Structure 1
Amino acid sequence: MRPETEAELAEIVRGANGPLAVQGGATRHMPAEGDGLTTAGLSGITLYEPGALTLVVRAGTPMAEIEAALEAEGQRLPFEPMDHRGLLGTEGVPTIGGAVALNVSGPRRVTVGACRDSLIGVRFVDGEGRVVKNGGRVMKNVTGYDLVKLLAGSRGRLGILSEVSFKVLPAAATEATLRLDGLSVAEAVRAMASGLTSPFEVNAAAHDPAAGATWLRIEGLAGSVDYRAGELAGRLAAFGTTTRLDLADSARIWRGVRDAEAMAGPGDVWRIHARPSHAPELVARAGAEAVLLDWGGGLIWVRVAEGTELRARLGSFDGHATRVRGGVDLPPEVPAIAALTAGLRAKFDPRGVLAGAGA
């Protein structure tokens, strides 16, 4: 099923006699059974006001279309939505609705927040087929349920997104990425923490043990970037000599970090969310075939042998692990959160027709 309008989407949901498995651009497999429904027909930018830094777009709009429109005005989305196709071997088209449904966020999350932090409005169809609107086109306080934040990352289990609104940002004039070589995971975490807590506005920090490289990125006006990069290099001198990458290499590196290209190869891939200071110990416990640290160590990608139960290896820690390739395995919820989730689903989808969404 491929509705072309919000009204058609609502009619389909109202008439559903069983679960609906929703997909946007089919770039990520999700564990949902039911009648297939794609939001790809709900496409197009409905409002873009560059002067107000505001973008309103239908959920099925391809990310490439949005990025091209923003680039033409010297702007960008604050977050860096991951393209899952390389990691998962899919051939679909990434859409903005899929990014919101999964709260997809890239390396810049350490400074600008997740996808939900830029989201200011949503329209969606709940499990009863009702069209619900929350938020708007300006940042403001809300009362009652903040459905904007609630829908981001809900994986289509509370409603099927039809339209989303964002606050966008001016694109950076330039960027500088400094590379440190040969650091251990523990040394890299300390170096990234030093950069991220410095006054030099580092907005991304990652480490690839296989490449033996640690990267820190600065963005902004050319003069400011040059000054801050020089000062940051001095601060990082305790960890080794830094190399500044050229712009092409910098863009390539962060695209690879965003899309977890280091996870290429056979096996299951997991995402671990944890305190950066715990990253060295968790990497050691994981016994992984490949590792990539993003967010200064707060996000750990690992590739392990197929069928490995990673959570048993990791043991108890302050965070969670999610398998994203080799079968999606979401982290178990603690009882209090599980009860809250069940209560919300009972309100928004009392018939149980929303089986979940893919990106």
Structure 2
Amino acid sequence: MRPETEGQLAEIIAGAAGPLRVQGGGTRGVDAPGEVLETGGLTGISLYDPGSLTLVVKAGTPLAQIEAALEAEGQRLAFEPMDARGLLGTAGEPTIGGVFAANVSGPRRVQAGAARDFLLGVRFVDGLGQVVKNGGRVMKNVTGYDLVKLMAGSYGTLGVLTEVSLKVLPKPEAAACVLIDGLSDAEAVGAMAKALGSPYDVTGAAHTPSGIDGHPVTMIRIEGFEGSVAYRAGRLREMFASHDVTVDSDPERVAAGWRWVRDVHPMTGTQGDVWRLSVKPSDAPGLVDVLRRRGAVRSVLYDWGGGLVWVETEPGDDIRPSGFKGHATLIRASSGTRQRIARFQPEPAPVAALAQGIRQKFDPRAILNQGIMG
């Protein structure tokens, strides 16, 4: 089913006799029982005002179309949504509704914020087929449920997005990447913390124990006006002068390097399970070391200064009993492993009860993306 209007979508949901599997471009690897309900027919930019940095767009609009429109005006989506197709081996076109339904953010989240932080308003159809609108075209305080933030990251379990309004930002004039070679995981996390705590407005901090040349490399990104970028890159280079440091200011290489991080390229085309760990940055190297001693780890990529860790493991290995403090999300695995291991970190009982109560409120028949969130 592929409705082309909000009204058609509402009729389909209201008349549904069983569960519905809601998807945009089908690129995120999210699976649920039921008949497929695609939002790709709900397309088009409803309003774009570059002067007020505001965009209103139908939820099924391809992300590439939106990025092209912003590029023409020298603007961008600052939260840098990842493209999961390579990692997950999926096809199709990512949509803006899917981006917000999964709260998809990239390396710049450490500085700019998550996708949900740029969402101003939503329109969606709930599990009873009712059209709901919340928010608007400017940031404002709310009382009661903040449905704008609630919908972000709900994976279509509360309602099907039909339109979103969001804030965009100007594209910077220049970018540079400070590269530090040869650091251990613990040294890299310390260096990234130092860079992020500096006054030099770092917009990305990542580390791979095995870069393109097979050696460890730590990446620190800065963006802005050309003169400012050059100055800050120089100061960061001085800050880490005791290490093997280079600065890359070539815009194409810098952009390609951060796409490599954003899309978790080291784990593209491989056969292991992929986990996304959200942890206290200082805990990340110790956690990875524990997993390595278990023999579970195939490859690792640190992002957000170590607060986000991508780990590829042997197929079927549940890493959650390792006793770490944080959240582990199973991003890629076989269908058999998914049946045995929950996608999301199990919630404490009081939080799980609250979440179930909210889902019951918006989808009392439990027909939207059943079972995805627990």
TM-score tier after normalising by the smaller chain length: over 0.9
CA distance in 1, matches of 2:71, 2:370: 32
CA distance in 2, matches of 1:3, 1:356: 20
- 1:40-74 deviation digits (Å, cap 9, x = unpaired): 00011000000010000010000000000001001
Task: Find out whether 1:269 has 2:274 as its counterpart.
Answer: yes
Task: Find out whether 1:256 has 2:256 as its counterpart.
Answer: no
Task: Find out whether 1:283 has 2:292 as its counterpart.
Answer: no
Q: Which runs of 5+ in 1 are unaligned?
A: none
Give the AA of the match of 2:15: G
CA distance in 1, matches of 2:135, 2:352: 26
Task: Find out whether 1:336 has 2:340 as its counterpart.
Answer: no
CA distance in 2, matches of 1:102, 1:145: 19
CA RMSD of aligned residues (A): 1.3
Change (3 A) 1:54 1:112: same
Structure with larger RCO (C-alpha < 8 A, sep 6+):
1
Aligned residue for 2:366, secondary structure, equals coil
Shift of residue 242, structure 1, vs aligned partner:
3.1
Q: Is the 8 A contact 1:155 1:357 kept in 2?
A: no
Q: Is the 8 A contact 2:205 2:305 kept in 1?
A: yes
| Map of 2:80 onto structure 1 | 80
| Map of 1:301 onto structure 2 | 310
Give the AA of the match of 1:257: V
Aligned residue for 1:123, secondary structure, equals strand
| Map of 1:322 onto structure 2 | 329
Give the AA of the match of 1:256: W
| Map of 2:127 onto structure 1 | 127
Alignment of 1:90-169 (within 5 A): 90-169=90-169
Change (3 A) 1:26 1:219: same
Shift of residue 240, structure 1, vs aligned partner:
3.6
| Map of 1:27 onto structure 2 | 27
Alignment of 1:122-271 (within 5 A): 122-211=122-211, 212-264=216-268, 265-271=270-276
- 1:132-159 deviation digits (Å, cap 9, x = unpaired): 0000001111222100000000011111
Aligned residue for 2:47, secondary structure, equals strand
CA distance in 1, matches of 2:178, 2:71: 25
Identical columns (%): 60
CA distance in 2, matches of 1:149, 1:227: 37
Alignment of 1:10-21 (within 5 A): 10-21=10-21
- 1:255-302 deviation digits (Å, cap 9, x = unpaired): 010000011311111101101101110111222111000000001001
Change (3 A) 1:215 1:356: farther
Q: Is the 8 A contact 1:6 1:162 kept in 2?
A: yes
Shift of residue 357, structure 1, vs aligned partner:
10
CA distance in 1, matches of 2:42, 2:260: 29
CA distance in 2, matches of 1:233, 1:239: 9
Aligned residue for 1:242, secondary structure, equals strand
Aligned residue for 1:200, secondary structure, equals coil
CA distance in 2, matches of 1:356, 1:42: 22
Q: Is the 8 A contact 1:23 1:36 kept in 2?
A: yes
Q: Which runs of 5+ in 2 are unaligned?
A: none
Q: Normalising by structure 1, what TM-score?
A: 0.97
Give the AA of the match of 1:19: P
Q: Normalising by structure 2, what TM-score?
A: 0.93
Aligned residue for 1:199, secondary structure, equals coil
Change (3 A) 1:223 1:356: farther
Change (3 A) 1:317 1:357: closer
CA distance in 1, matches of 2:319, 2:257: 27
